[in-house]
């Protein structure tokens, strides 16, 4: 039988047998990729409409990024921050310029960037704002997703992310996302920061109400509070601008960056802020063995240079309008809501038809890979190198799934 000759079933069984079940992946086993396309162990090709949760904004194996990695692998991969290496200054300088900030603190993962932002905000609160010792508070939004460390899940409102991981870290106040009045009311003399995703990706690509982000910026400025923008998924070209905050002309005090910064090759994250914020740190107070390593910096510097051209932001904006038009054409034909910003979309399927998981499984059968979240919602986030025809193809396959 043909099925007995396929490698996928046994590979899926082995993965389930030998790993903790902290993920529920689709039963597809990828062996190679290029651009916006993936190939599984049995030679079947799939259009990637997830892009590693935006980690693959530039597609799989972008030649410029692969070349930078190869060249650095032949020279130097790690020194630790005990020494300075020859890729470090270029990366920090060019990323700081892209962000319009004075300083950069490199880390590895998105969660590390968030943890770094929390620590810096608290230290700033005690040293600069003069908050009473041990009283610093940070305001966050419900529906947030900032990572999975014990501190971060302490202020999550997602039961799966939070349940049974206590005791929880204090020092956070949760307010409704998009509710400026509630946020302003929550700020008090001990508030050191407001930490928000400009667009809530994990929640289903939830866009902020018009005027919300400028209102947050004003409230933070007026009350001497730091505005921290978690742009780990939304930043670096995904939404059609360099940062999602750019859509409303908002400049936060601190950017948290990750995912796309590593070009889909190595984990790279960073915090970018001015010297009056990041300057509160002193030697020995925060660090990472692999943060800012030579290999990461070599790749990430090329990522920053790709973004500096503006090409990928333009592609995301233009193709995002094409994606929007296609998806909105399915409203009333299986979709009940569509939210799009650049090449990032959350679509809500009529729950009477199917769940988001079922939709993703059926899309997989049709050669398109996407990810479900929260019941009947699926997220689409293809690499920014996707073409017009490929966008149309993804929408057509979704239409076919909805039509049954």
145 given a catalytic annotation:
yes
Number of Cβ within 10 Å of residue 362's Cβ equals 17
Active site residue 230: yes
Is residue 197 within 8 Å of 146, Cβ to Cβ? yes
Instruction: Measure the CA–CA gap between 22 and 25, rounded to whole angstroms.
Output: 10
The residue from 155, 259, 348, 372 that is catalytic is 259
Catalytic residue among 88, 101, 155, 230: 230
Q: Quick check: 244 and 341 in contact, CB under 8 A?
A: yes
Sequence-ordered list of residues with C-beta below 8 angstroms from that of 264, at least 6 positions apart, any chain: 51, 52, 55, 56, 57, 58, 59, 60, 61, 62, 65
Strands (E), 242-281: 254-257, 269-273
Beta bridge pairs of residue 331: 335
Cβ atoms of 10 and 40 within 8 Å: the answer is no
Catalytic option among 91, 145, 243, 312? 145
Note if 129 is an active site residue: no
Buried b (16+ CB within 10 A) or exposed e, 147-176: bebebbbbbbbeeebbeeeeeeeebbbbbe
Q: Which of 373, 376, 380 is nearest to 143 (CA)?
A: 373
Token digits of residue 365: 């059968």
Distance, in Å, from the CA atom of 5 to the CA atom of 7, rounded to the nearest integer, reads: 7
* Residues catalogued as catalytic: 145, 230, 259
């Amino acid at each position: 039988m043909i099925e007995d000759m396929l490698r996928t079933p046994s590979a899926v069984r082995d993965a389930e047998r030998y790993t903790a079940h902290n993920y529920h992946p689709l039963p597809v086993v990828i062996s190679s990729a290029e651009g916006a396309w993936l190939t599984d162990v049995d030679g079947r090709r799939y259009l990637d409409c997830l892009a590693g949760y935006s980690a693959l904004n530039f597609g799989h194996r972008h030649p410029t990024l692969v070349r930078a990695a190869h060249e650095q692998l032949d020279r130097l991969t790690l020194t630790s921050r005990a020494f300075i290496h020859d890729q470090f200054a270029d990366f920090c300088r060019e990323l700081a310029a892209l962000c319009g900030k004075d300083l950069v603190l490199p880390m590895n993962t998105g969660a590390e960037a968030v943890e770094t932002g929390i620590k810096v905000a608290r230290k700033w609160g005690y040293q600069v704002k003069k908050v009473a010792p041990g009283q610093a508070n940070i305001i966050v939004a419900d529906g947030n997703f900032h990572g999975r460390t014990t501190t971060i899940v302490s202020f999550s409102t997602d039961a799966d992310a939070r349940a049974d991981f206590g005791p929880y870290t204090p020092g956070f106040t949760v307010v409704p996302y998009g509710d400026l009045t509630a946020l302003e009311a929550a700020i008090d003399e001990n508030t050191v920061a407001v930490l928000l995703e400009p667009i809530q990706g994990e929640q289903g690509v939830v866009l902020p109400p018009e005027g919300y982000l400028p209102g947050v910026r004003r409230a933070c400025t007026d009350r001497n509070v730091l505005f921290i923008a978690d742009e780990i998924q939304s930043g670096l070209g995904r939404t059609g601008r360099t940062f999602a905050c750019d859509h409303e002309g908002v400049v936060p005090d601190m950017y948290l960056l990750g995912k796309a910064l590593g070009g889909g090759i190595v984990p790279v994250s960073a915090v970018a802020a001015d010297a009056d914020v990041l300057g509160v740190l002193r030697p020995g107070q925060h660090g990472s063995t692999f943060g800012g390593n030579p290999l990461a910096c070599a790749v990430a510097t090329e990522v920053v240079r790709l973004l500096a051209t503006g090409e990928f932001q333009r592609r995301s904006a233009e193709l995002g309008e094409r994606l929007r038009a296609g998806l909105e054409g399915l409203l009333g034909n299986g979709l009940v809501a569509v939210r799009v910003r650049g090449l990032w979309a959350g679509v809500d399927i009529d729950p009477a038809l199917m769940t988001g998981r079922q939709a993703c499984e059926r899309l997989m059968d049709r050669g398109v890979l996407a990810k479900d979240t929260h019941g009947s919602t699926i997220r689409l986030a293809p690499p920014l190198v996707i073409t017009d025809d490929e966008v149309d193809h993804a929408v057509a396959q979704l239409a076919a799934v909805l039509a049954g």
